[in-house]
């Protein structure tokens, strides 16, 4: 039987980060991708959604280590006592070092250290949902995209109409091109759930995203 994955989007924080609450429709097992809320009223709305739908939160996944995607980790962990997963290369951005960065950027809260360090090809399971980890560095060293069977969560790598910044510490324009090439190999019907902005598809981005179109031509 096909597993349906329920996906709820909450744009959160000053940078309108897309926080996704994803759950298995059969077991209610749930993951939060990128809890970028650093004030309690925003967190409360999402926690309420989890309670109201009898969801069972199993873990937090960060697509990468930037504070607009990780600043709510602590609020989630304090309430639900769940582990945090992030790619090896961005794990150092959490914990004590991350605290300095988050304060520097004016965020109210920060993240505890990572519990699970992800690598390319790993699978993250909750209930019957399986997300495959694809390492897509470029925006940050440890950026990942998470692949479902008909969808991909791209963090700050691929957006509708544009791509993530590559002028930050830890960014690499060369890696970004390789990562976009990997994403361009996905089936066109794949729904793209980016880290900011509207939801799109791989096919739509191949048609209309000038940064995505230009990859794979050299």
Binding residues for Zn ion, per CB under 5 A? Answer: 66, 68, 156, 195
* Nearest residue to Zn ion on Cβ basis: 66
Report which secondary-structure segment, H or E, holds 83: none
β-bridge partners, 116: 85
Q: Which is nearer to Zn ion, 66 or 74 (CB)?
A: 66
Q: Which is nearer to Zn ion, 55 or 71 (CB)?
A: 71
**Distance in angstroms between the alpha carbons of the first and the last residue of the chain:** 42
**Quick one: three-class SS letters along 23-79?**
EECCCCEEEEECCCCCCHHHHHHHHHHHHHCCCEEEEEECCCCCHHHHCCHHHHHHH
Q: Which is nearer to Zn ion, 62 or 201 (CB)?
A: 62
Q: Which is nearer to Zn ion, 66 or 135 (CB)?
A: 66
């Amino acid at each position: 039987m096909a597993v349906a994955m329920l996906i709820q989007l909450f744009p959160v924080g000053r940078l309108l980060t897309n926080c996704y609450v994803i759950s298995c429709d059969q077991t209610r097992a749930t993951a939060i991708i990128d809890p970028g809320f650093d004030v309690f009223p925003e967190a409360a709305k999402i926690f309420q959604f989890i309670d109201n739908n009898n969801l069972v939160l199993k873990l937090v996944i960060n697509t990468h280590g930037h504070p607009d995607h990780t600043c709510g980790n602590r609020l989630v962990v304090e309430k639900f006592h769940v582990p945090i997963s992030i790619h090896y290369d961005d794990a150092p951005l959490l914990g004590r070092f991350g605290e300095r960065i988050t304060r520097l950027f004016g965020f109210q809260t920060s993240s505890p250290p990572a519990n699970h360090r992800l690598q390319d090809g790993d699978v993250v399971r909750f209930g019957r949902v399986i997300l495959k980890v694809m390492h897509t560095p470029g925006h940050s060293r440890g950026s990942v995209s998470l692949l479902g069977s008909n969808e991909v969560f791209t963090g700050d790598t691929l957006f509708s109409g544009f791509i993530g910044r590559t002028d930050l510490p830890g960014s690499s324009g060369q890696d970004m091109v390789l990562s976009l090439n990997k994403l361009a190999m996905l089936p066109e019907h794949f729904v793209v759930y980016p880290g900011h902005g509207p939801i799109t598809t791989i096919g739509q981005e191949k048609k209309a995203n000038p940064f995505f179109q230009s990859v794979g031509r050299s």
